[in-house]
Chains A and B, each alone.
Chain A
Amino acid sequence: MEILVIVLAGILIGASVYLMLSKSLLRIIIGTGVLSHGILLMLLTMGGLKRGGIPVLDDSVQSYTDPLPQAMLLTVIVITFALTAYMLVIAIRVYKELGTDNVEEMKGVPRDDD
């Protein structure tokens, strides 16, 4: 199972790179989102999957799934959320100001300067 998940994570990461290299702002943002999904899966798998019960103390449970990756990934999720929202707003702003969402066309002197 772990190998499968790692392969899926790798595919997500590869696809996210492809998305980020494209010209459209929206695709770039989605790309970063997909990248973080891939990394989430990858890191979670590193600790081993389904090695015990849910990591909540219970006297009847002998072993627990590794809680440490989960705790860190929680942080990842939240930060990614902030990042995505922020990038989205930047995209909106950029589109409003420059009239394009094509990053190839954005290079040059900003209109304010001329």
Chain B
Amino acid sequence: MTLIHFAILLPIIAAVFIGVLYRYYKKVHLGWFVLPVPVLIAAYLFTLIPTVSNNQVIFESLQFMPKIGMNFDIYIDGLSLLFAILISGIGALVVLYSIGYLSHQEKLGNFYVYLLIFMTAMLGVVLNDNVLMLYLFWELTSISSFLLIAFWFNRERSIYGAQKSMLITMFGGFLMLGGFLTLSLITDTFSIREMMDQMPAIQESPLAPFALILILFGAFTKSAQFPFYVWLPDAMEAPTPVSAYLHSATMVKAGLYLVSRFTPLFAFSELWVWTILLVGLVTLVWASFNAIKQDDLKAVLAFSTVSQLGLIMSLLGVGALGVHSGASEQVFTVAIVAAVFHLINHATFKGALFMIIGIVDHETGTRSLKRLGGLVTIMPISFTLTLITSLSMAGIPPFNGFLSKELFLEAMFAISEADFSVLADVSVLFPILAIVGSIFTLIYSVILIRGIFLGKVQPKTPKEPKEAPPLMLVPPIILSVLVVVFGLFPNLLSGTIIDPAAMGILNTAEPLNTEISHWHGWDSPALWATVSIVVIGTLLYLFRNTWMPVYRLGSKSLSINHFYDQGLIYSSLGAEKITDGYMSGYIRSYLVYIFSGFTVLAVITLINTDITFDWSTTSEINITEVAIMLIILASLVAILITASRMVAIIMFSVIGFSLSLLFVFFRAVDLALTQLAVEAIITSLFLLAFFQLPKRARHEERRRFKLNNMFISVAVGAISIIFGIAAYSNRLFDSISQFYIDNVYDLASGGNMVNVILVDFRGMDTLFETLVFGLAGLGIFILLRLRVNKKGENEYEEHA
């Protein structure tokens, strides 16, 4: 247990105290007690930056479940550190913001406990080296996300959104676990580091494509890539601090982390490279296109987040292509640097935007674009912040979004020019898709600014609008300042954070020495792309009324949401059908399953096992014994065919008594005596019950019913015989009986071995047997005497 382990677990430990504290002390807003946790973690992580930017990695092992290879192994390189800093840093700002956002009336205890659980889970995901632990924390993020989305659990939409996000991300997570297990099958380890050392084995393995696809499912569902993105817009039902934190800055980036982490391992595969690249680009275009038609501000941001995640994903694809082709060309490194840089930038501008939208919602009571407008004079600070962050999102200089967008376009142009055998014909599409996506991004960024703050003042907001309290403004101000600072001085980041992270993704030790510049010269294609984006975007925005009807095309029944809803309905119907199909409620059905299952398993065993029969050691056949056995057989037949209950009962007793006679012949006198006594009592019991039971011993049965039963019985009987003879013929172990025979007098001073075993050697068993017996007696008494009367009370019957 090192300091790093403690730092990861600190939030979840704090959650316990926070939960208790909230019960007894409500004078001060609970958020103030939570705030130190992420601040402390962030401060601690900042102290690690010098170590990591010197290309050193930190590895701390902690045995958790070594038997199954599940260890709490911490591995920190630039990549993990970047994510960890984002998690704790944004976390601190979000907690601060939530103090203003959530009032005392809300269930603050729940909120902060969930949030703290999430923090631990997310830190655990990005700092782990062990894939099993990674999976554990991964699902914990899904669970805490579920709880946070459903925070206002009396709203139907919240529950719907929570369930949707849970189902989709857990579906992916489970497949991801499959991928991890496949990987561990190939490499025989659960450590990512050790997997990296066995790269050749993975590349040769035929299982690798499966592992790769399964892991991508996990990444794409979590990072809301096409077509799994549908959960993210519905997750916006969560309180805005949660949306800013989980569903924009951190949790949805876990998929990106996963892809980055496994890129060195899988980049050999074309499947990996092209899937990431194409899915990322499609997501970028599709989501930015859809963001424009949204009316709810948070929905705009949700689609925007999806499209930005797609952008980063496609950049990772380009970077992976570099690793794949083995070319250490500048363009691929640029792509990775752009991905890391945009990841940071997105966290800053999107986090700030979410917080401002939350402020607007908080102060006006609505998030609908139709009901907002002209707030610039009333909320000047919020307006300024929105302007900065939206323009950064749109890729306008001098903000940080411009720089990473420029790098992105550059990478896309470079990839279209590079020569690759696969998809060479369509590679010209990459920059086009990138530009189209960026145009849409510009349009919705403008819509955000124009729709909320400019234009006519809308008088009909549910609340009288006013500027937010300082407490809520501080976090977005901090983020906006970062947007400007990173935009003006990007090289503050490049050496300290971006380079180590990019080196982590590329799995290289060579220093990159990235210099991010604002100006690439007149001949840079990215420059002209940016210019055309701004021009076309502005034109499209101005004439939006002419082309907006495009959104009405396309049938609702083709949408992914429709598909999800129907899938949910049909899967539950299907499950019900299947369950109803075999859970018939008849005891006979269950017995049939048991006996058929027994038969099938037994037959499989018989086929696969080499069984020998040995007849040689049997004892001689005695005529008297055979005669008794024939009596038993005859009685059995009588029971089977009779319709009279009297005959059935008497024949049953005959079997019992004949059995005790057989025991005598078989030198089992104690058994014989016991059987005799028990049989006498059972017979009298049956006769006592005689008056209480119906006259007929059997019911009309159809021929088919009988034949089925007969078939199963014959099968079970035959298999019992085969198994019995096989077990008799093959003795795998020496019997322990000799021990009892030798020691029965020395240890227990008794002569009758059976008795001594029962009451002495196995005395405890016999004691419990007595207990069972007593319980049965008690049960019989209760069944006979107690009954529930019409008033629902227990009633004691004198004469049953």
Please list the residues of chain A having a beta carbon within 8 angstroms of any beta carbon in chain B.
1-15, 17-27, 30, 33-34, 37-38, 40-42, 44-58, 64-68, 70-71, 73-75, 77-86, 88-93, 95-96, 100-104, 107, 112
Q: A79 CA to B698 CA in the complex, in Å?
A: 26
A48 and B685 alpha carbons, distance in the complex (Å): 33
Q: Please, which residues of chain A bring their CB within 8 A of the CB of B741?
A: 55, 64, 67
Chain A residues near B762: list those with CB within 8 A: 71
Stretch at the interface among B267-275, B363-371, B629-637: B629-637
B675 neighbours in A (Cβ, 8 Å): 77
* CB neighbours of B754 from chain A (8 A): 55, 67, 70-71, 74
Shortest Cβ gap from B1 to chain A (Å): 50
B639 within 8 A of A: yes
C-alpha gap A18/B708 in the complex (Å): 9
Assuming the contacts A3-B615, A44-B668, A85-B685, asked whether A24 and B720 have C-beta atoms less than 8 A apart, the reply is: no
In the complex where A11-B717, A15-B640 touch, is A71 in contact with B757 (Cβ < 8 A)?
yes
Contact with A along B647-667 (1 / 0, CB 8 A): 011001001100100110111
Q: Chain B contacts of A96 at CB under 8 A? A: 692
Most buried by B among A44, A89, A100: A89
Question: With the chains together, A74 CA to B681 CA distance in Å?
Answer: 16
CB pair A89 B699 closer than 8 Å: no
Per a CB cutoff under 8 Å, which of A8, A26, A56, A79 touches B693? A26
Considering the complex, give the chain B residue whose CB is closest to the CB of A31.
Answer: B639
**Known A4-B626, A20-B591, A107-B586; contact A70-B671, beta-carbon cutoff 8 A:** yes
Nearest CB of B to A78, in Å: 6
Cα(A51)–Cα(B773), bound, Å:
33
CB distance from A71 to the nearest CB of B (A): 4
A79 to B699, CA, bound (A): 29
Q: How far is the CA of A93 from the CA of B633 in the complex (A)?
A: 32
Task: Decide if A54 touches B669 in the complex (CB within 8 Å).
Answer: yes
Contacts of B559 in A (CB 8 A): none
B776 & A74 in contact (Cβ 8 Å cutoff): no
Number of A-B contacts (CB under 8 A): 261
Q: Which 4 A-B pairs have the closest CB atoms?
A: A14-B717, A10-B721, A67-B753, A18-B713
Is the pair B693, A101 in contact by a Cβ cutoff of 8 Å? Answer: yes
Select one of B666, B744, B783, B784 contacting A57, CB under 8 A: B744
Contact B693 A95 (CB under 8 A): yes
**Chain B contacts for A40, CB-based, 8 A:** 659
In B52-105, the 8 Å CB interface with A consists of none
Which residues of B approach A to under 8 Å, CB–CB?
Answer: 584-588, 591-592, 595, 615, 617-622, 625-626, 629, 632-633, 636, 639-640, 645, 648-649, 652, 655-656, 659, 662-663, 665-671, 674-675, 678, 681-682, 685-686, 689, 692-694, 696-699, 701, 709-710, 712-714, 716-718, 720-721, 724-725, 727-728, 735-737, 740-741, 744-745, 750-754, 757-758, 762, 765-766, 769, 772-773, 776-777, 779-780, 783-784, 788
Please give, as numbers and ranges, the residues of chain B lying within 8 Å of A5 by CB-CB distance.
629
CB-based nearest A residue for B688: A88
CB atoms of B586 and A21 under 8 A apart? no
- Residue of B694, B727, B769 with most partner-chain A CB within 10 A: B694
| Bound-complex Cα distance A64 to B740 (A) | 11
- In the complex, A17 Cα to B371 Cα: how many Å? 74
A26-B697 in contact (CB<8A): yes
Whether the pair B709, A22 counts as a contact (CB closer than 8 A) is: yes
Query: Is B685 in contact with A93, judged by CB distance below 8 angstroms?
Result: no
User: What is the minimal beta-carbon distance from B277 to any residue of chain A, in angstroms?
Assistant: 58
Which residues on the A side are within 8 Å of B724 (C-beta)? 6, 9-10, 42, 45-46
Extra contacts, 11 of them, besides A50-B665, A90-B783 (Cβ < 8 A), are: A26-B693, A55-B752, A64-B741, A70-B670, A78-B674, A81-B681, A82-B777, A84-B685, A85-B776, A100-B694, A112-B788
Report yes or no: B712 in contact with A89, Cβ–Cβ below 8 A.
no
Q: Give every chain B residue within 8 A of A38 (Cβ-Cβ).
A: 720
- CB <8 Å contact, B633 and A44: no
CA of A59 to CA of B689, assembled, Å: 48
CA distance A101 to B696 in the complex (A): 10
- Per the bound structure, the CA–CA distance linking A70 and B758 in Å amounts to 10
Q: How far is the CB of B480 from chain A (nearest CB, A)?
A: 64
Point out the residue from B595, B668, B709 that lies within 8 Å of A70, measured CB to CB: B668
- In the complex, A36 Cα to B640 Cα: how many Å? 17
Pick the contact of A13: B592, B649, B671, B716 (CB < 8 A). Answer: B716
Q: In the complex, A23 Cα to B528 Cα: how many Å? A: 85
Q: Are B735 and A47 in contact (CB under 8 A)?
A: yes
Residues in B with CB closer than 8 Å to A24 are 696-699
**Chain B residues, CB < 8 A from A2:** 618-619, 728
Smallest Cβ distance from B442 to chain A, in angstroms? Answer: 65
10 contacts between A and B (CB under 8 A): A24-B699, A42-B724, A53-B667, A54-B669, A68-B740, A77-B675, A78-B674, A89-B689, A93-B783, A101-B694
